[in-house]
Amino acid sequence: ETNTLPFHPFENQQGDILRVEKEHQVLQEQLREAEEKFEQSQSRSLEEIAALEELLKKSVEETEVSQNELDWFHQDSEAQMKKWQQEKKENRENLKALKGTAKKHSDTNERYLKTIDDKEKQYNTCLNTFLETSNKFANEKSKLEELIKKSQDDSQECEKRAVKAEISVLQTWKETETWKLKGTIAKAEGNVRMLKALGSSASAAPVLKPQIDSWEIFISNVKKQLEKVEAEYEEKIELVKKGARNCLSKVEIVDFPWP
């Protein structure tokens, strides 16, 4: 009567309805929170699903590319396998041929080894003979070198004496020729002095003047000849000192006519 008794059939005891309402409110709040979480989770799931779908699409494309590459790889592998089998066959044939060639080379090598042994014996014999001959020639060479050195020393001494002799001859020719030319100059100068003395008078001067001029020209030419002779002989002497050959010849002298 005052709402203190349980309300059958909804309550077994007092306050069940209030408790159920409170629980209902709590459950509604939990349901609301669960819905919000579900919506958030659903939104994230949709994003993840979109990303996964994109990733799946990319994976499918990569799988298709990989499958194509795998097909190409299988085709290339088959081609390589055929090529390797052919090369293996060729290598077997080459190996068989090489074994035959190796046997031939082995037989040839044995023959060559035997030949080498024979040649080595011959070489040792020839080497001993060569060493004996070489020692003999070395002794003879030493003697010949001593003779050559002595001959070279004698030759150098002879060359020195020959150079001195040539210089002496050229010096003698030079002195002889210069002495002759100087004597001619002295005679001509004496004649000029005599003519100048005779032409000291006024009457004789015009007559003797041409003769004096002629003698002075003659003296000038002979002096030039003297300088030329001295210079050429000195040049020959210097050439001989430096080792020149075929210098032993007289200097050509021009014989000027006397006035």
* Domain enclosing residue 215, as ranges: 159-242
Q: What is the DSSP letter of 8?
A: T
What integer pLDDT is reported at residue 11 of this predicted model? 64
Give exposure, 85-117, as e/b (b: 16+ Cβ within 10 Å): eeeeeeeeeeeeeeeeeeeeeeeeeeeeeeeee
| Residue 34 placed within a domain | no
| Residue 200 placed within a domain | yes
| Residue 57 placed within a domain | no
Contact by Cβ (8 Å): 256, 221: yes
| Residue 228 placed within a domain | yes
Question: What is the token pair recorded at 194?
Answer: 């005599």
What integer pLDDT is reported at residue 155 of this predicted model? 85
Contact by Cβ (8 Å): 225, 254: yes
Entry pTM: 0.42
Q: d(Cα 182, Cα 180) in Å, to the nearest integer?
A: 5
Report pLDDT digits (tens) over 56-77.
999 888 888 888 888 898 898 8
| Residue 63 placed within a domain | no
| Residue 212 placed within a domain | yes
Q: Is the pLDDT of residue 1 over 60?
A: no
Number of domains in the chain: 1
Q: What is the DSSP letter of 256?
A: P
Q: d(Cα 67, Cα 60) in Å, to the nearest integer?
A: 10
Q: Is the pLDDT of residue 5 over 70?
A: no
